[in-house]
Structure 1
Amino acid sequence: MAVHDKIRALRLQNNWTQEQAAEKMDMSKNGYANMERGQASININRLEKAAEVFQVDILELLNSSKDVVLFVNENFENTEQCGNYYRQSDNAEKLALQLAHQQTLLEQKDQEIAALKEIIVLLKQQLEKSQ
């Protein structure tokens, strides 16, 4: 069962309308309806909110969803864009591009760490000379 189907089933189990569920999740009715129909990606914050609202573990929403990929980007300042789940079959190319981008970011991080280590060495040498 896909995540959006589980969310719909949980809503029905609670005897809530889409409007009631949307209100509890701090969403518009249309936004909630699109999410529930699988017409919109669900970011990690929405998954967490759904788990909270429906009182289930977030992993319960993701379990047995074999075609789910959690996509996390580097923009952690904007938590709304922190991560999204995607149907793998629809977004395999996006995932491959993201993995390549993550590799580039890791390489940049390693270069920055090396540069910072060099700066530390130079600062220590400067400090020793001034003493």
Structure 2
Amino acid sequence: MSRTKLSALRIANNWEIEDVANSLEISADEYAKIESGKARLSMDIARKLSELYRIDPEYFFTHEAVAIHRNEGQGSNSNSGYINTYNNNGNLTELFEKLVHELKKR
């Protein structure tokens, strides 16, 4: 898990580590470890993060770059809100399902 992805999402939303941790119902210390790469991102936390940020959970398990654009307020254009993009070559859903299956075995 790239710590840059989690940090970028949090910063783009003007949230502190404590804000995200509270939303996930975990301690700020636990979330900080996940964001810094010192702890692994669980499927449950990835699901909660995907709901929080309104993105696909598979995003957290890919290496593709993501552009996050937040255009709000007076004078914004019709693209207000989030614009999340990534290269989905059709195999990401299959990969995500395989990861879920493997994790359930453990």
2:61 aligned with 1:62: yes
Partner residue in 1 for 2:88: none
Partner residue in 1 for 2:44: 45
Partner residue in 2 for 1:36: 35
Partner residue in 2 for 1:11: 10
Give identity over the alignment, percent.
27
State the TM-score, normalized to the length of structure 1.
0.48
Map 1:1-131; keep pairs closer than 5 Å: 2-64=1-63, 70=99, 71-74=102-105
Q: How far apart are the structure 1 equivalents of 2:34 and 2:48? A: 13
Q: How far apart are the structure 1 equivalents of 2:33 and 2:103? A: 21
Q: Which has the larger radius of gyration?
A: 1
Q: Cα distance, 1:30 vs. partner?
A: 0.2
Q: Cα distance, 1:5 vs. partner?
A: 2.1
Structure 1 residues 59 and 73, CA, compared in 2 at 3 Å: closer, same or farther? closer
Q: How many residues align?
A: 71
Q: How far apart are the structure 1 equivalents of 2:22 and 2:2? A: 19
Q: Cα distance, 1:3 vs. partner?
A: 3.5
Unaligned runs of 5+ in 2: 65-98
Q: Cα distance, 1:74 vs. partner?
A: 2.6
- Output the aligned Cα RMSD: 2.1
Q: Cα distance, 1:64 vs. partner?
A: 1.7
Q: Cα distance, 1:63 vs. partner?
A: 2.3
Unaligned runs of 5+ in 1: 76-131
What amino acid is the match of 1:46? I
Structure with greater helix percent: 1
Structure with greater strand percent: 1
Partner residue in 2 for 1:79: none
